[in-house]
Copies of this chain bind each other. A is one copy, B any other.
Amino acid sequence: MKWAVLVGGKGSNLQALLDHSLEVGLVISHREGVGALQVAEAHGLAHTTILPGAFGSRAEYGQALRDALERTHIEAIALAGFMRWLDGETVAAWSGKIFNIHPSLLPAFGGMNAVGQALAHGVRWTGVTIHLVDEGEDSGPIVAQVPVPVLGDDTEESLSERIHRIEHQIYGPVLKAFEAESFGVHGRRVIWRHDIEGFEGGRYAVGIDQCDR
């Protein structure tokens, strides 16, 4: 399955997806000069930067994205540090085939700076969520979640790092599970038909901090 990865940051999730043998046909960044573009370059991947500021509306930006995605015959899309909402037409065009990874246990702490939000709220657990993308913000059906402990001496940096490490572990395997039709979507509920290594019904089950400790 030919994926586009939509990026905007350092590119560590893109790198992790490549490490998990995802076939990446196109990398699109919404920001210039980010690390993710260097990762794409280093792997010889087709890549382009499409700046939202260059378009008058979200719909026009969406049209530019779709043009690039269609030209490359992209079958599915993974958001990885891409900080823009997709317009309805783009979501509809790849309906059920667009994924995002978010650094919290959604629906808690959606939107920007989820790690800072969790720390400020004083939760004992936050986590990572992989979900299907709809037109809302972090609101689509949830495919997989991993709880991550918030430690007493955690800073935004230390907690972010622990969360990113788990993101890198799980995003690739879950997208490969999508390719293998290991789960199906029924309304808001995602039903896992067969588990992949380390997961049980979309819950990461082994090798995770809270169980190792």
Chain A positions near chain B (C-beta within 8 angstroms): 105-109, 120-125, 127, 141-142, 144-145, 147, 149-152, 187-192, 200-203, 205, 210-211, 213
Q: With A107-B108, A108-B107, A152-B191 in contact, is A124–B211 under 8 Å at CB? A: no
Report yes or no: B188 in contact with A149, Cβ–Cβ below 8 A: no
State the Cβ distance, A203 to closest chain B Cβ, in Å.
5
Report yes or no: A205 in contact with B201, Cβ–Cβ below 8 A: no
List of B residues within 8 angstroms of A108 by Cβ: 105-108
Q: A201 CA to B150 CA in the complex, in Å?
A: 9
Report yes or no: B152 in contact with A124, Cβ–Cβ below 8 A: no
Report yes or no: A123 in contact with B149, Cβ–Cβ below 8 A: no
State the Cβ distance, A48 to closest chain B Cβ, in Å.
34
List of B residues within 8 angstroms of A105 by Cβ: 105, 108, 123, 125, 147
Residue of B nearest to A107 (CB): B108
Q: A203 CA to B123 CA in the complex, in Å?
A: 10
Residue of B nearest to A131 (CB): B122
State the Cβ distance, A140 to closest chain B Cβ, in Å.
10
Name which of A141, A144, A189, A190 has the most chain B CB atoms within 10 A of its CB: A189
Q: A190 CA to B109 CA in the complex, in Å?
A: 19
State the Cβ distance, A78 to closest chain B Cβ, in Å.
19
Residue of B nearest to A108 (CB): B108
Report yes or no: A145 in contact with B121, Cβ–Cβ below 8 A: no
Report yes or no: B122 in contact with A190, Cβ–Cβ below 8 A: yes
A-B contact pairs, 10 of them (CB 8 A): A105-B125, A107-B108, A107-B121, A120-B188, A122-B188, A123-B142, A124-B203, A125-B127, A149-B201, A211-B211
